[in-house]
């Protein structure tokens, strides 16, 4: 059965009506964009408001545009408490209807006694039930409270696994419940503990060890390639929840002190074509850390994260590699 997501159309429609909104912008992450036209026409019918769909890429709740609309409805993510949006935003997490328990059962034989349980916005409504299920099987379950970038305990973002770090000393392994490798990579690079990925859509379970090793090899290669560079651009994002100006200015100074020609350059959306126009030899991204990691193959020049730039300049040892988390 195909996984379905709850767009909470009645709640969205009543919010639009109650607030008297006449123009509404809808934002969808890439995986849900195909559902956008249907959602827009249902909301238009229910409310009479003008519904506009954002056609721009949207990768997270860090990316809320300054919309010319009475309300932005952002589907697929929960709010990031540490990011204060300038306009009125309604977050709809798009709960999945996938049943996570078959995947949990499959994971049981491979888990240690003490387990850190983690998931994403789509499955957080099952978090307490999943913890109870694992406890009923005799496991000690920890649900870590992360920092203020996370909306709920046990939640993980592609740029923040502080909920894993919070309990890492108390668990033998982590169980991440969710689809795809994106979030699991953040956990695997944040902790050295075993990370199992249980996919509620397919009930498949896999160990993230290979992913972790592959990522670390890739990051080591990127740093080594950047050692040939003479000029390095520092990427500063204009997106509200990805803008790390202090880190960008610090990186710029650190690299200049290490003898590189540097330029601090601001982008909204980073693409290989935009970077290539500058003719620089390498880049350090202080925007979404996943740009450097997940889009590795798309960029002709090496793109490093902020802690990787510290390794490049000798301020940090490779053995002290850390995932670039945004707090
Ligand atoms: S910074 Fe990147 S990983 Fe973090 S929420 Fe935004 S898009 Fe996701």
Three-state DSSP state, 190: helix
Ligand 1 first shell, C-beta below 6 A: 59-62, 157-159, 241-242, 288, 290, 326
Nearest Cα to 22, choosing from 2, 48, 60? 48
Kindly tell me the sign of the dihedral angle through the C-alpha atoms of 54, 56, 60, 63: negative
Return the closest-CA partner of residue 54 out of 83, 81, 24, 16. 24
Residue showing tokens 């909204």? 268
Q: Rounded to whole angstroms, what are the CA distances from 88 to 60, 82, 85?
A: 17, 16, 7
Domain spans in the chain, listed from the N-terminal domain onward: 6-94, 101-207, 216-320
Q: Which of 190, 288, 289 to mutate to test the pocket of ligand 1 (most atoms within 8 A of CB)?
A: 288
Domain 6-94 matches domain 101-207 at the CATH topology level: yes
CA of 326 to the centre of ligand 1 (A): 8
* pLDDT tens digit sequence for 198-256: 999 999 999 999 999 999 999 999 999 999 999 999 999 999 999 999 999 999 999 99
Confidence at residue 87, expressed as pLDDT on a 0 to 100 scale = 86
155 secondary structure, DSSP code = B
Q: Could you give the C-alpha distances from 49 to 70, 74, 94, in angstroms and in order?
A: 10, 16, 22
Torsion of CA 57, 60, 62, 64, to 10 degrees: 50
Find the 111 Cα to ligand 1 centroid distance in Å. 29
Which of 4, 146, 12 lies closest to 81 in space, CA to CA?
146
Q: What is the DSSP letter of 32?
A: G
How would you classify residue 138: left for phi > 0, otherwise alpha for psi between -120 and 50, otherwise beta? left
Is 80 exceeded by the pLDDT of residue 1?
Answer: no
Which atom of ligand 1 has the smallest separation from the CA of 242? 1
Least confident of 79-88, 101-110, 150-159, 261-270: 79-88
pLDDT in tens, 267-303: 999 999 999 999 999 999 999 999 999 988 999 999 9
Q: Could you tell me the fold of the domain covering 216-320?
A: Rossmann fold (3.40.50)
pLDDT of residue 86: 84
Q: Would you report the helix, strand and coil content of the chain in percent, each value rounded to 5?
A: 40, 20, 40
Q: How far apart are CA 204 and CA 200, in angstroms?
A: 8
Mean pLDDT of the chain: 97
* Tokens linked to 86: 């300038």
Q: What local confidence, expressed as pLDDT, does residue 277 receive?
A: 98
Query: Residue with the nearest Cα to atom 5 of ligand 1?
Result: 60
What's the rounded Cα separation, in Å, for the pair 289 and 264? 17
Distance 269 CA to ligand 1 centre (A): 13
Measure 124 CA to ligand 1 centroid, in angstroms.
18
**Atom number in ligand 1 closest to CA 59:** 7
3-state SS, residue 301: coil
What residues contact residue 301 under an 8 Å CB cut-off, 6+ apart? 229, 275, 276, 280, 281, 282, 283
Is pLDDT at 101 greater than 90 in this prediction?
A: yes
pLDDT recorded at residue 59? 92
Percent of the chain with pLDDT over 70: 100
Q: If you measure from the C-alpha of residue 259 to the centroid of ligand 1, how many angstroms do you get, rounded to a whole number?
A: 31
pLDDT at 133 over 80: yes
State how far the Cα of 184 lies from the Cα of 175, in Å rounded to an integer: 9
Assess if CATH 3.40.50.11840 describes domain 6-94: yes
CATH topology of domain 101-207: Rossmann fold (3.40.50)
Q: Which atom of ligand 1 is nearest to the CA of 80?
A: 5
Residue 213 CB-half CA count within 13 A:
5
3-state secondary structure of 25: strand
| Residue 207 CA, ligand 1 centroid: distance in Å | 23
Enumerate the β-bridge partners of residue 24.
51, 71
Tokens linked to 312: 């490049």
- Of all atoms in ligand 1, which is nearest to the CA of residue 158? 3
288 CA from centroid of ligand 1 (Å): 5
Report the pLDDT value the prediction gives residue 2, as an integer from 0 to 100. 82
Closest by alpha carbon to 252, among 269, 268, 235?
235
Backbone angles phi, psi at 44, to 5 degrees: -65, -45
Shortest-distance atom of ligand 1 to CA 160 = 4
Mutating to test ligand 1, I would choose from 290, 291, 323, 327 the residue with most ligand atoms within 8 A of its C-beta, which is 290
**For the chain, first and last CA: distance in Å?**
37
Distance CA 11, CA 34 (A): 21
What mean pLDDT is predicted for residues 82-93? Answer: 94
- pLDDT tens-place string over residues 45-79: 999 999 999 999 999 999 999 899 999 999 999 99
Q: What is the pLDDT of residue 23?
A: 98
Residue nearest to atom 1 of ligand 1 (CA): 288
């Amino acid at each position: 059965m195909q996984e379905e997501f709850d767009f909470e159309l009645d709640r969205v429609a009543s919010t639009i009506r109650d607030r008297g909104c006449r123009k509404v912008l809808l934002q969808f992450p890439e995986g849900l964009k195909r559902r956008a036209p249907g959602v827009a026409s249902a909301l238009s019918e229910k409310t009479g408001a003008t519904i506009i769909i954002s056609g721009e890429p949207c990768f997270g709740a860090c990316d809320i545009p300054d919309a010319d609309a009475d309300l932005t409805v952002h589907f697929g993510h929960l709010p990031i408490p540490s990011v204060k949006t300038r306009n009125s935003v309604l977050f709809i997490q798009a709960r999945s209807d996938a049943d996570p328990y078959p995947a949990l059962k499959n994971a049981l034989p491979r888990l240690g006694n003490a387990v850190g349980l983690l998931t994403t916005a789509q499955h957080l409504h099952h978090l307490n039930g999943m913890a109870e299920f694992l406890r009923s099987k005799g496991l000690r379950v920890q649900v870590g409270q992360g920092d203020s970038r996370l909306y709920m305990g046990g939640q993980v973002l592609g740029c923040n696994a502080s909920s894993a770090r919070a309990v890492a000393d108390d668990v033998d392994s982590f169980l991440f419940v969710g689809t795809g490798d994106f979030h699991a990579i953040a956990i695997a690079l944040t902790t050295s503990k075993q990370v199992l990925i249980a996919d509620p859509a397919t009930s498949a379970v896999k160990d993230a060890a290979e992913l972790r090793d592959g990522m670390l090899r890739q990051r080591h290669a990127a740093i080594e390639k950047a050692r040939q560079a003479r000029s390095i651009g520092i990427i500063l994002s204009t997106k509200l929840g990805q803008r790390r100006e202090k880190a960008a200015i610090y990186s710029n100074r650190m690299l200049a002190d290490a003898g590189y020609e540097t330029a601090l350059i601001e982008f909204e959306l980073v693409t290989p074509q935009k970077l290539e126009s500058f003719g620089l030899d390498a880049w350090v991204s202080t925007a979404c850390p996943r740009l450097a990691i997940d889009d590795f193959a798309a960029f002709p020049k090496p793109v490093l994260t902020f802690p990787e730039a510290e390794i490049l300049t000798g301020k940090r040892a490779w053995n002290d590699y850390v995932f670039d988390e945004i707090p």
